[in-house]
């Protein structure tokens, strides 16, 4: 289900969707070939914005057979991980910055039968996850500062993705490498070239004038032209 390096997977973020038509918007990207649906959970504390809770993950789950990922931009994620697991998320993504006991939190996610992903903000160095790389199913590199959709891609995250790719390959780890923030047709190629193979895209998918299907096609073409 979770591809490994060979093919690029797209994870449209519903943060930029028309929420009055949530189920349709999820089905549209799935029909256009998106492998995952990305749900951005924000708490107004870890990040300066409020978005969704488990009931929205549950609504997305009922709308799709695609992989559902819950990106938890919340303090004390361990308190809510069981709720997001129960809501039907396949992958639970927690920030290194919110988990003083990251190994324990990863274990908690695995005990609930879910894939565990650790997320790093642009300013957080890779060395902070070096010791748990062998325990996670995925690493997500933020390519903007989390909190809002539609932000500009931070170029300095590209060498960071490349260094993580080297670390994973050097250790023979079959761990997914995802990137999130400011990704669209103009940036997807560079992100994949650096070594990521799962791309979150929000505004570039749901805000695209030619429509959702054309946007997904354009991002995939850019990603695979590398
Ligand atoms: Zn996200």
Give me ligand 1 centre to Cα 201, in Å.
Answer: 9
Can you read off the two tokens belonging to residue 128?
């902070």
Percent of the chain clearing pLDDT 90 (strictly above) = 93
Neighbours of 20 (CB within 10 A): 7
Backbone angles phi, psi at 65, to 5 degrees: -100, -5
Give me ligand 1 centre to Cα 210, in Å.
Answer: 23
The residue-averaged pLDDT of 93-98 equals 98
Strand boundaries in the chain, DSSP class E: 9-12, 36-42, 67-73, 91-95, 115-120, 138-142, 176-180, 198-201
**What amino acid positions are annotated as catalytic residues?**
40, 180
Percent of the chain clearing pLDDT 70 (strictly above) = 97
Residues with CB under 5 A from ligand 1 (ion): 40, 71, 180
The residue-averaged pLDDT of 117-129 equals 97
pLDDT digits (tens, 9 = 90+) for 170-196: 999 999 999 999 999 999 999 999 999
Q: Are 12 and 37 in contact (CB under 8 A)?
A: yes
Report the alpha-carbon distance of residue 41 to residue 186 in Å, rounded: 26
Give me ligand 1 centre to Cα 200, in Å.
Answer: 7
Whether the model clears a pTM of 0.75, i.e. scores above it, the answer is yes
pLDDT of residue 6: 55
Give me ligand 1 centre to Cα 69, in Å.
Answer: 9
């Amino acid at each position: 289900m979770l591809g490994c390096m060979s093919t690029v997977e797209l994870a449209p973020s519903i943060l930029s969707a028309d929420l009055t038509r949530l189920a349709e918007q999820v089905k549209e990207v799935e029909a256009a070939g998106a492998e995952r649906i990305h749900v951005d959970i924000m708490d107004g504390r870890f990040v300066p914005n409020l978005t969704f809770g488990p009931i929205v993950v549950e609504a997305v789950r009922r709308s799709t057979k695609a992989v559902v990922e819950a990106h938890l931009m919340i303090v004390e994620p361990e308190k809510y991980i069981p709720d997001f697991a129960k809501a039907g998320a396949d992958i639970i993504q927690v920030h290194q910055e919110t988990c003083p006991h990251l190994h324990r939190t990863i274990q908690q996610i695995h005990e609930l039968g879910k894939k565990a992903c650790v997320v790093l903000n642009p300013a957080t160095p890779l060395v902070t996850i070096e010791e748990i790389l062998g325990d996670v199913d995925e690493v997500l590199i933020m390519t903007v500062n989390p909190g809002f959709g539609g932000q500009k891609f931070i170029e300095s995250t590209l060498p960071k993705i490349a260094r993580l790719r080297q670390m994973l390959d050097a250790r023979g780890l079959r761990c997914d490498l995802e990137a999130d923030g400011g990704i669209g047709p103009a940036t997807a190629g560079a992100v994949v070239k650096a070594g990521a193979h799962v791309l979150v895209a929000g505004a570039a998918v749901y805000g695209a004038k030619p429509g959702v299907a054309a946007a997904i096609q354009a991002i995939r073409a850019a990603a695979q032209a590398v």
